[in-house]
Structure 1
Amino acid sequence: MTTPCSTTTTRTRTTARFLLLGDSHAGCVGRAAQAADLPFVGGPVGSGRDFLGPFFDTGGTGGTEGTRGTGGTGGTESTGNGEITFRSPEAQRLYREFLDALEVAALAGLPVPLVCTFGLSAHTVATRQNWDVHRDTHGTLPEEFLRSGLFAGLVRATVRGALAFYDHTAALGLRVLAPLPPQRVPGMSDAQVFFAAQEVIRAELAARGVEIVDLRARVTDASGLQRPAFSQTDDTIHGNLAFGRLVVAELLDRGL
Structure 2
Amino acid sequence: MTMPYSTTTPPVPARFLLLGDSHAGCVGRAAQQAGLPFVGGPVGSGRDFLGPFLDVGDDGDGDLVFRDADTRRLVREFLDVLGATGFAGLGVPLVCTFGLSAHTVATRQNWDIHRDRHGTVAEGFLRSGLFGDLVRASVRGALAFYDRTAALGLRVLALMPPQRVPGMSDPAVFLAAQDVVGAELTARGVELVDLRARVTDGAGQQRPVFCQADDTIHGNLAFGRLVVAELLDRGL
Question: 1:71 is matched with which residue?
Answer: none
Structure 1 residues 1-45: Cα deviation after superposition (integer angstroms, max 9, x where no partner): xx3454334223651000001011000000000000000000000
* Kept in 2: contact 1:232–1:240 (CA 8 A): yes
Structure 1 residues 76-102: Cα deviation after superposition (integer angstroms, max 9, x where no partner): xxx611121111111001000000000
**Which one of the candidate residues 109, 125, 148 is aligned to 2:89?**
109
Are 1:148 and 2:128 an aligned pair?
yes
Mapping of residues 116-195 of structure 1, within 5 Å: 116-195=96-175
Structure 1 residues 158-210: Cα deviation after superposition (integer angstroms, max 9, x where no partner): 00000000000000110000110100000000000000001000000000000
Question: 1:40 is matched with which residue?
Answer: 38
Distance 2:108 2:121 in 1: 11
Percent sequence identity over aligned pairs: 75
* Kept in 2: contact 1:120–1:180 (CA 8 A): yes
Give the letter aligned to residue 55 of structure 2: D
Distance 1:151 1:174 in 2: 30
Question: 1:31 is matched with which residue?
Answer: 29
Give the letter aligned to residue 98 of structure 2: F
Unaligned runs of 5+ in 1: 61-78
Q: Which runs of 4+ in 1 moved over 4 A?
A: none
Secondary structure of the 1:21 match is: strand
* Kept in 2: contact 1:52–1:158 (CA 8 A): yes
Secondary structure of the 1:250 match is: helix
Question: 1:210 is matched with which residue?
Answer: 190
Distance 1:12 1:220 in 2: 39
Change (3 A) 1:201 1:13: farther
Distance 1:83 1:14 in 2: 26
Secondary structure of the 2:224 match is: helix
TM-score where L is the length of structure 1: 0.90
Secondary structure of the 2:15 match is: coil
Structure 1 residues 188-246: Cα deviation after superposition (integer angstroms, max 9, x where no partner): 00000000001000000000000000100110000101011000001000000000000
Aligned positions, number: 236
Structure 1 residues 93-149: Cα deviation after superposition (integer angstroms, max 9, x where no partner): 100000000011010111100000000000000000000000011111111100000
Question: For the aligned residues, what is the CA RMSD?
Answer: 1.1
**Which one of the candidate residues 96, 103, 107 is aligned to 2:76?**
96
Secondary structure of the 2:14 match is: coil
Question: 1:68 is matched with which residue?
Answer: none
Question: 1:74 is matched with which residue?
Answer: none
Distance 1:14 1:167 in 2: 30
**Which one of the candidate residues 86, 90, 99 is aligned to 2:66?**
86
Change (3 A) 1:152 1:13: farther
